Amino acid sequence: MLDLGSGTGILGYLACQAGARRVYSVESTGMVELARQLSRANALDDRMVFVHGLSTHVNLPEKFDLIVSDQIGRFGFEAGLLDYFSDARNRLLKPGGALIPSSVEMCIAPVEHPSGFEQVEFWKAPVAGLDYRPAYTIAANTGYPFAFEPGQLLGDPATLVSHSLQTVAAEPFGAEVAITISRDGVLHGVGGWFLARLSPGVTMTNSPLAEQRINRRNVFFPIGEAVPVAKGEVVRIRIQVIPQDTIISWRVQVRDRTFSHSTWKGLLVCEEELRRTQPDFAPRLTARGQGRATVLQLCDGHRPLSEIEAEVWRRHRDLFHSEQEAALFVAEVVTRYSE
């Protein structure tokens, strides 16, 4: 079995208890070290193989009958599930092998969320005599984690898209749904969550309506104005997603009002960074960039780390206050880009 983004390794331990011969546990953060310790503490280290890295960047010595992952996020895609499974399915799954989950549905509903809406509207008013309205654009184009209650839904949920993880690719997608308002209220935005199919008879979801809802928040997408709505009215919601960049755009239409938002507009990107992305920009390494390039050049598979540290300190002494600081700089590069 292969576990992608395994965290503490819990899914692998359960698989071992169920009889798995060997489990590869792939984790890109330092959590992998805790997982190793937990594996030893539970006498499972003879069947657990821990790999430190991102699953899309690692090569493994065998293919697998089963690949599992809980990288679903709150809305069904933003933790990287589509990208990880698309890659692992093509490179690491045996013919006829299984994926858990096998499919993921992204579900939405119009919601009433006054406190969340007020959090966005806050930026429209002066604070301590200062104008903070430029921050409103960012706030209004951000998705917020929130655990909705059933009473906050203004209509029956709709499935936006259903992804079969046996075939899906991490490509842009979108869909539009029309939802009939089921009670009078005030529309503040859209709520989103997921439903993951683990086996033919078993699902996992953070839906506000689920009796066995997992302890994971939903996502709230605000709109530009609180709109009173009445039972029987129709709200049209269109959502478009660029999964690899975690960009979500949402358009909400109610009566003659249309609200358009996108997390692209909510990104905190400075002018200097934007300038460096222009096609005519001619990049030049900074002093620290030159230092990093030196480290990479010296990582030839023969020089020991102590020699690399000494050489970087010699060549780039103006970058560091001490040899120890230079050594830490080298360690940051080596731990990320060497093997």
Question: In b/e form, how buried is each residue of 52-71, taking b as 16+ CB within 10 angstroms?
Answer: bebbbeeeeeeebebbbbbb
Predicted confidence (pLDDT) at residue 269 exceeds the cutoff of 90: no
| 242 located within any domain | yes
Model confidence band, residue 339 (pLDDT cutoffs 50, 70, 90): confident
Which of 56, 90, 127, 103 lies closest to 198 in space, CA to CA?
103
**What would the pLDDT profile of 50-102 be if each residue is shown by its tens digit?**
999 999 999 999 999 999 999 999 999 999 999 999 999 999 999 999 999 99
**What would the pLDDT profile of 184-232 be if each residue is shown by its tens digit?**
999 999 999 999 999 999 999 999 999 999 999 999 999 999 999 999 9
| 273 located within any domain | no
Averaged over 318-326, what is the pLDDT? Answer: 95
Mean pLDDT of the chain: 96
Of 77, 100, 123, which residue is a domain's last?
A: 100
Range of the domain at 15: 2-100
Of 209, 241, 268, which residue is a domain's last?
A: 268
Q: CATH number of the domain at 226, please.
A: 2.70.160.11
Which of 216, 206, 189 lies closest to 119 in space, CA to CA?
189
**Pair 121, 38 in one domain:** no
**Pair 45, 116 in one domain:** no
pLDDT of res. 204: 97
**Pair 109, 255 in one domain:** yes
Of 216, 234, 268, which residue is a domain's last?
A: 268
**Pair 32, 96 in one domain:** yes
* Dihedral over alpha carbons 281, 286, 291, 293 (to 10 degrees): 0
pLDDT of res. 161: 96
Q: How far is it between the farthest Cα atoms of the chain?
A: 74
Predicted confidence (pLDDT) at residue 316 exceeds the cutoff of 90: yes
pLDDT of res. 127: 87
State the Cα–Cα distance between residues 220 and 186, nearest whole angstrom: 15
Give the chain's domain count: 3
Which of 253, 223, 245 lies closest to 139 in space, CA to CA?
223
State the Cα–Cα distance between residues 267 and 271, nearest whole angstrom: 12
Count CA atoms within 13 Å of residue 114 on its CB side.
Answer: 4
pLDDT of res. 286: 95
Predicted confidence (pLDDT) at residue 296 exceeds the cutoff of 90: yes
State the Cα–Cα distance between residues 168 and 13, nearest whole angstrom: 28
State the Cα–Cα distance between residues 18 and 13, nearest whole angstrom: 9
pLDDT of res. 137: 95
